[in-house]
Chains A and B, each alone.
With several copies, the nearest count.
Chain A
């Protein structure tokens, strides 16, 4: 089992990555939008122990942490976010559209569109009789899209190795999920697909890790799909530049004070008497990501003359 300390280390890297992106964004170095996962680190971190290289993970507009959890190279990912030729997609995709064939990782900017692609992988693994899993990430908002239903039904009917992770951060942009959800939880929908569903505290990496491990075992064992709903809070606006007027000052203050997965985990480690210098862990993560950012800054951007390349193979 992964120790809480290991989770902390993983979370520190995930946060530092997105903070480096934020830094660049606020210096005007990213053209276009940016969605960070800050506040949601425990979910990606909790997935790491159960992810195998052969598994496939398809994420959303808020995908950096999932990419890192899946083993995508941090430099290649950051270079893509900053639109460099050295990026995963040579700067063509941008932060919502990273593709890493080697890691079976991809994402989409269209809400709900991640799940069908993950299901395609699940079908492939099932056909091949491989004990791998296709994992689709969605937000709470995305779970209301029709594709959620279509995919879980198919996976349920044929017992495909398909796991849906719902990052329930309580909002789809400004719309509170509780205003637009027919049931108290998303996880309970699993019964409609003959699948198990677990709702866990997504600020607790151990809770996520346990539920995700259970879901992955279920899927790997050929028993069909599973849903893991992890509740969490998104610290930043929906995207950088979002006025975020839909959450009160108080709500945002409490969110950071009470629901920060790094702070919570740190308190637990300290309470358990862990002697490690946690500040050093944070500093090392920061330094790693700052180093990557520096490297990215020096790398070339795509040349306008190449704008028509790559549209067709032939």
Chain B
């Protein structure tokens, strides 16, 4: 780890590094997607891989997502471990069929005789590109059974979770946050140090990224950094927030969440995805189921209020969680208790 502290990659470089290490290790891994080859991905997360591994293993595809997502299924059946890149999560509407009816279901439908070691890699979250290029949609993937849903929120996890996804025998949806791809590792509050060597972060384990006594903020992806920033502000006001990074939705690590809630008894779920019928409701429901309703003194959700992401900056800011709005939500809870 001698090199760790002098490396200052951005998250997309970290991901490319992880994929490169796995591709070296395992010749069955290949990458299909739009612009993943010559330019190494519109967010840069496959940069340099085509040069190293050739244009068959890292392939620029036409805009035919249904075909190449299904090719991923066929390649997995043929013994490969394909990474299929859907450039933005928003585009999954053109190929969801192969994702949920084939990739996710074949292991179960085949009675366990077939495994689907396939990774759907995509970018979610908002960087200002409005309603059709800003969605998280992890709640959608997680609702559909059969795939693991991994959502890293810091450089260390981007690398380690990609390694785990590529060694998993189950299908994995791996969702990056657009805003983090160009963000330098050293600017992160959590997971800023990224070893050059290969390592894995287990899928399905949440992390307590900040300990606190007063309330538990449960979140993931870019909102983890927002929540940590909010927690610093709140600390100055005498509110001590614990922050949990879920690191994914399926499997959902409720043990870590419940252990925290057992101490704080206040739950604030922060989610950049749409609020209804998704992650935030599931967290609340499972907390209530597992701890019993009376164990929780307060419960709140702060997420996109079920509107398409608007184009105008002021509107966008009004519907997405950020450090200030998270702090405000926590303050409202503190005031009520």
Contacts and interface: CB of A to CB of B under 8 A. Distances in A.
Interface of A: 31-33, 56, 58, 80, 83, 87-97, 99, 101, 104, 106, 108-113, 115-125, 127, 134, 141-142, 144-147, 150-151, 153-154, 157, 172-175, 179-181, 243, 245-246, 301-314
B98 A93 contact: no
Contacts of B61: 154, 175, 180
B130 A302 contact: no
Given A134-B74, A304-B317, A173 B35 contact: yes
Nearest to A307: B318
A244 to B, nearest CB: 9
A302 to B, nearest CB: 5
Contacts of A96: 129-130, 132-133
Which residue, A93, A101, A172, has most C-beta atoms of chain B within 10 A? A93
A101 B77 contact: yes
A150 B170 contact: no
Contact of B66 (A122, A124, A142, A147): A147
Contacts of A146: 64, 66-67, 94
14 contacts: A31-B313, A56-B74, A87-B111, A91-B312, A94-B311, A99-B110, A101-B114, A109-B101, A113-B98, A115-B70, A121-B78, A146-B64, A303-B314, A307-B305
A304 B133 contact: no
B34 interface: yes
Contact of B71 (A123, A180, A308, A309): A123
Given A31-B316, A115-B70, A301-B312, A127 B56 contact: yes
B107 A311 contact: yes
A88 B110 CA distance: 7
B310 to A, nearest CB: 5
Looking at chain B, what size class is its interface with the partner chain?
A: 35 or more
Contacts of B56: 127
A93 B131 contact: yes
B39 interface: yes
A146 B95 CA distance: 10
B236 interface: no
B312 A150 contact: no
B129 A33 contact: yes
A89 B307 contact: no
A112 to B, nearest CB: 7
Given A31-B311, A104-B78, A310-B110, 16 more contacts: A33-B133, A83-B311, A94-B130, A97-B109, A110-B97, A113-B94, A115-B70, A116-B74, A120-B72, A120-B73, A120-B78, A123-B75, A124-B74, A142-B63, A150-B62, A313-B115
Contacts of A142: 63
A304 B312 CA distance: 9
A92 B39 contact: no
A140 to B, nearest CB: 9
Contact of B113 (A99, A113, A153): A99
B212 interface: no
A108 B101 contact: yes
Given A104-B78, A120-B78, A141 B90 contact: no
B168 interface: yes
B315 A306 contact: yes
Interface string B30-70: 10001100110010000000000000110011111111111
Nearest to A84: B312
Contacts of A154: 61-62, 64, 67-68, 71
Given A89-B111, A94-B130, A101-B77, A83 B64 contact: no
Given A32-B311, A311-B108, A120 B62 contact: no
Contact of B315 (A109, A141, A304): A304
B74 A310 contact: no
A123 B97 contact: no
Interface string B104-125: 0111111111110000000000
B42 A150 contact: no
Contacts of B76: 120
A116 B91 contact: no
B26 interface: no
B111 A310 contact: yes
Contact of B148 (A120, A147, A312): A312
A174 B98 contact: no
B60 A174 contact: yes
Given A113-B102, A116-B70, A310-B108, A99 B114 contact: yes
Contact of A311 (B72, B79, B145, B317): B145
Q: What are the 8 tightest A-B residue pairs by CB atom distance, in nearest-first order?
A: A120-B74, A116-B70, A94-B311, A90-B111, A32-B128, A150-B67, A310-B112, A150-B64
